[in-house]
Amino acid sequence: MRDLPLPLALTARLLPVAVLACAGWALSSGPQAASPAGEDSAKDTASGPVSTSESAPSTSAASRTYTKAPSPCSGITTKTVKSLVPGAKTAGKEIASTDESVRRTCSWNALKGFDYRWLDVSYEIQETDDKAETSYKNRVTEQSGGGAVPGLGDAAYSVVNLTTEKKQQTREGVVYVRVSNALVVVTYNGSDFESQKAPSTDEINKGAIKAAKEAVAVLEDAR
């Protein structure tokens, strides 16, 4: 067979390459071309159902059982007010708050003879259970020498401290309780201005816990 002239020979060699290139272009950019890597999965994600784990936050982080605080002056029964704060007006006095949906406090105090007693009940509403738990733990950490109160709320802690100013003693008990995304804080203290002594630790601690149990019951009833 006679050899082809150089231009014709070059054309013959390049022709198969050109045909393959055109075929490859048709497959890659034609109407039946496959999607680029990752594009199909992206479309599936956009149009298909989103998994629960990706679309919703964890239950503990999103939980919000309470949206507002109950009336704090209704947190303690008349009988308990008379017992813990003799001589006080049983209706109590609500302390002004910048945002009543977040925090509400009621106070009872009285001086009967030489015995003085003061009782505060506060309800604080956090955005989530997690934030309430963090706030609770921070407060408990700041108060040393107390102990847990079993069976009260999701967690409860009681602490009693004695202070002396100009020989006058005052003993104060504080109970912190977490219930879901709410905190209940009860403060109860007393002094005897005749003897300059304070009530016993047992009296103050039991009084504070009794008030806390009633305040938590009111909160739970408002759920």
pLDDT value, residue 39: 43
pLDDT value, residue 202: 97
Predicted TM-score of the model (pTM):
0.72
d(CA 123, CA 135): 13
d(CA 14, CA 8): 10
* DSSP helix/strand/coil, 103: strand
The structure tokens listed for 155 are 């967690």
pLDDT value, residue 1: 45
pLDDT value, residue 81: 97
* DSSP helix/strand/coil, 201: helix
Domain covering 63-221 in this structure, CATH number:
3.40.1000
- Across the range 161-168, mean pLDDT stands at 96
pLDDT value, residue 84: 98
d(CA 167, CA 108): 25
Rg (CA), the chain: 37
d(CA 36, CA 33): 9
- Position 64 confidence tier, pLDDT thresholds 50, 70, 90: confident
- Across the range 167-176, mean pLDDT stands at 98
Per-domain boundaries in the chain: 6-47, 63-221
Long-range contacts of 193-201 (CB under 8 A, 24+ apart): 193/111, 193/114, 193/115, 193/116, 193/168, 194/113, 194/114, 195/114, 196/167, 196/168, 196/169, 197/169, 198/162, 198/169, 198/170, 198/171, 199/171, 200/171, 201/160, 201/162, 201/171, 201/173
Query: Hunting for tokens 């509400």 — which residue is that?
Result: 104
d(CA 82, CA 97): 26
- Across the range 212-216, mean pLDDT stands at 98
